[in-house]
């Protein structure tokens, strides 16, 4: 196959699917119906490595429609009295306008890459869009992901995409009711999986081309993509969403669950599973209790409730062993430890850029299922921040990256409280700190995405926390 095609032909082939450079608005999109698995397989059997996924899971998924575990009607934890879904809708639209881009837009943005787009994004995977990763001014990824002839100098001069962003984007678009964006992000995810003959997406790739910067999976992204597909299946009843979810869930079990302990690994390569000889290090911000509950609904052949129990027990051990917050990374003993990829030398022991996601995942579980273990985690975090902030959500104490153990390193203070940090601390009030939750949600609803060259992570988490705390996380079952 030729690696080069003419850009005009690329855009012409997309006519009728999505106009070049055009993006549909959210909250008004009609349900998107994916093609049948017979006409357009989610992943063809020839694209699956039989050593990774048993044929019964991917090439011949379980066709029985799963029945969700009964949940009492209207069974939600109480949100803030002034929770406002319209605020979350507005934030989503602002975020999407800055951070989501289409294949057609990238074809004009990266002329040197555009000729290769059709190699990965065949007709089966169109329309396609991605969530743009933040620009970086230094480090290895600057060289690997930079594009010399990029036509923009802002964030979109950066031509890399991380699977985490696709997973977040699928969840955000699902809860925003933006089916068109959901579908196009899903196409991005499955096109790279198909091209690379893998059921799990490589964690970092370059724009819409075939260049994989790092082929390891990222467990949190895989959990989120599968969760979004299951939710969309229950919303629409369309089998392709379920079939793809089943394939991913089976691969997660085989590649990202430590079978002896039932703990979630952080990826599927030897760096993360201990086969390289390095100590296994865990990331509790990858633990999504809701994902594991949904996996148990559609995959009774594996012990997902056992994974849920093991992860909650491990989380309690880590929280009890320190100051009350969580470190970014921890080892089997529940002690803060550096990640084996060298990404956390100065942050591993702090409640920082990884663990700031923990309140969202745990509060989501409490909001939907009222698990007492989730309440214990949230109450512990609220009990930590309450005296430090004087129960004032505008206090700069909410911007500090707190140490899990002060003997490992000091707290890192800040003179600003980012919206996503505020959202994290607000979410700790969901399990009973009503006054805190009310005041904090009001403050959260004044925040806006920054939309800067480095705000990918901050903006996407702000919208996620806003959707959860403003009532957009509606169960489809």
At 149-193, the pLDDT tens digits run 888 877 777 789 999 999 999 999 999 999 999 999 999 999 999
- Evaluate if residue 104 carries a pLDDT over 70: yes
- Evaluate if residue 100 carries a pLDDT over 60: yes
What angle do helix axes 419-427 and 456-469 make, rounded to 10 degrees? 30
CA distances from 181 to 5, 24, 59, 424, 459 (A): 26, 8, 26, 26, 17
Q: What is the mean pLDDT of residues 354-370?
A: 97
Over residues 332-356, the pLDDT tens digits come to: 999 999 999 888 999 999 999 999 9
- pLDDT value, residue 155: 74
- pLDDT value, residue 31: 52
- Count the Cβ atoms, other than its own, within 10 Å of residue 90: 16
| Mean pLDDT taken over the chain | 86
pTM: 0.87
| Number of residues assigned to the chain | 477
Buried b (16+ CB within 10 A) or exposed e, 134-149: bbbeeeebeeebebee
Nearest to 437 by CA among 379, 397, 396: 379
Over residues 294-304, the pLDDT tens digits come to: 999 999 999 99
H/E element, 426: helix 419-427
User: What's CA 312's distance to the chain center, in Å?
Assistant: 19
* CA 191/CA 18 separation, integer angstroms: 17
Phi and psi torsions of 311, nearest 5°: -70, -40
Domains of the chain by range and CATH? 20-28+75-137+145-469 (1.50.10.10)
- Hey, is 146 helix, strand or coil? strand
The DSSP symbol for 129 reads: E
Which residues is 204 bridged to in the sheet? 162, 214
Report whether 456 contacts 132 (CB < 8 A): yes
- Evaluate if residue 50 carries a pLDDT over 90: no
Q: Which residue has the higher pLDDT, 142 or 316?
A: 316
* CA 204/CA 165 separation, integer angstroms: 10
CA distances from 203 to 214, 344, 370, 423 (A): 6, 17, 32, 26
Which residues is 129 bridged to in the sheet? 102
For the chain, what percentages of helix, strand and coil (3-state, to nearest 5) are there?
45, 5, 45
Looking up tokens 């597909």 gives 229
- pLDDT value, residue 74: 61
Residues annotated as catalytic are 164, 220
- pLDDT value, residue 65: 52
Exposed (0-12), middle (13-18) or buried (19+): which is 328, by Cβ within 10 Å? buried
- Hey, is 16 helix, strand or coil? coil
């Amino acid at each position: 196959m030729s690696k080069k095609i003419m850009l005009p032909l690329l855009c012409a082939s997309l006519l009728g699917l999505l106009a070049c450079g055009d993006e549909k608005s959210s909250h008004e999109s009609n349900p998107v119906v994916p093609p049948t698995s017979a006409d357009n397989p989610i992943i063809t059997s020839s694209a699956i490595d039989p050593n990774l996924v048993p044929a019964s899971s991917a090439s011949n998924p379980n066709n029985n429609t799963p029945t969700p575990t009964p949940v009492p009607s209207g069974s939600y934890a109480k949100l803030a009295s002034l929770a406002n879904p319209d605020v979350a809708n507005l934030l989503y639209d602002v975020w999407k306008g800055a951070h989501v881009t289409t294949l057609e837009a990238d074809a004009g943005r990266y002329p040197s890459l555009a000729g290769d787009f059709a190699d990965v994004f065949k007709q089966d995977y169109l329309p396609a869009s991605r969530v743009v990763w933040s620009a970086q001014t230094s480090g290895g990824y600057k060289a690997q992901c930079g594009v010399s002839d990029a036509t923009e100098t802002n964030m979109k001069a950066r031509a890399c995409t991380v699977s985490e962003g696709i997973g977040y984007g699928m969840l955000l678009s699902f809860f925003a009711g933006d089916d068109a964006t959901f579908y196009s992000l899903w196409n991005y995810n499955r096109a790279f999986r198909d091209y690379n003959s893998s059921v799990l997406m490589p964690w970092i790739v370059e724009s819409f081309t075939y260049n994989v910067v790092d082929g390891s999976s990222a467990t949190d992204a895989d959990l989120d993509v599968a969760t979004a597909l299951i939710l969309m299946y229950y919303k629409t009843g369309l089998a392709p969403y379920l079939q793809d979810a089943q394939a991913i869930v089976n691969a997660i079990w085989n590649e990202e669950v430590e079978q002896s302990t039932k703990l979630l690994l952080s990826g599927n390569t030897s760096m993360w599973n201990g086969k390289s000889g390095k100590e296994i290090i865990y990331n509790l911000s990858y633990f999504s209790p809701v994902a594991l509950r949904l996996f148990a609904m559609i995959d009774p052949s594996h012990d997902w409730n056992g994974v849920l129990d093991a992860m909650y027990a491990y989380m309690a051990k880590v929280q009890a062993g320190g100051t009350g917050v969580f470190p970014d990374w921890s080892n089997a003993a529940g002690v803060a430890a550096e990640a084996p990829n060298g990404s956390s030398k100065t942050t591993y022991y702090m409640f920082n850029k990884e663990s700031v996601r923990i309140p969202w995942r745990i509060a989501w579980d409490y909001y939907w299922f009222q698990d007492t273990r989730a309440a214990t985690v949230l109450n512990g975090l609220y009990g930590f921040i309450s005296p430090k902030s004087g129960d004032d959500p505008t206090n700069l104490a909410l911007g500090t990256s707190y140490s899990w153990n002060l003997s490992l390193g000091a707290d890192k203070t800040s003179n600003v409280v980012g919206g996503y940090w505020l959202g994290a601390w607000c979410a700790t009030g969901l399990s009973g700190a009503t006054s805190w939750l009310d005041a904090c949600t009001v403050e959260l609803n004044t925040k806006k995405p920054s939309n800067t060259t480095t705000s990918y992570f901050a903006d996407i988490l702000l919208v996620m926390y806003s959707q959860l705390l403003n009532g957009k996380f509606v169960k489809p079952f």
